[in-house]
């Protein structure tokens, strides 16, 4: 069972919060990140947080987020 860690990525003046496999979540590591459907190299992991979730837990959070957005958007 693979675990995922939340990470803050930075590139130029952009920041992006993502969940990546924990085995890659090392501060200052440079990785590729998918942006608008294309893989973009050169993202630096600025922070790797300690919370770790399984894929199933992440999928459940995503569904919950979508449901909240549906209920709150006007």
pLDDT greater at residue 14 or residue 72: 14
CA dist 49 to 46, 59, 69, Å? 10, 19, 25
Cα 7 to Cα 26: distance, rounded to the nearest angstrom: 9
What are 14's two structure tokens? 């952009």
Tokens 């608008």 sit at which residue?
36
The predicted-structure confidence for 12-67, as pLDDT tens digits, reads as follows: 999 999 999 999 999 999 999 999 999 999 999 999 999 999 999 999 998 887 77
**pTM for this prediction:** 0.80
Cα 64 to Cα 57: distance, rounded to the nearest angstrom: 11
Q: How much of the chain is in helix, strand and coil states, percent to nearest 5?
A: 30, 55, 20
């Amino acid at each position: 069972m693979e675990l995922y860690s939340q990470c803050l990525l930075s590139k130029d003046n952009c920041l992006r919060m993502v969940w990546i496999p924990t085995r890659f979540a090392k501060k200052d590591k440079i990785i590729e990140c998918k942006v608008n459907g294309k893989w973009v190299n050169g993202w630096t992991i600025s922070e790797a947080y300690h919370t770790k979730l399984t894929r199933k837990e992440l999928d459940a959070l995503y569904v919950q987020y979508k449901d909240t957005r549906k209920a709150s958007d006007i």
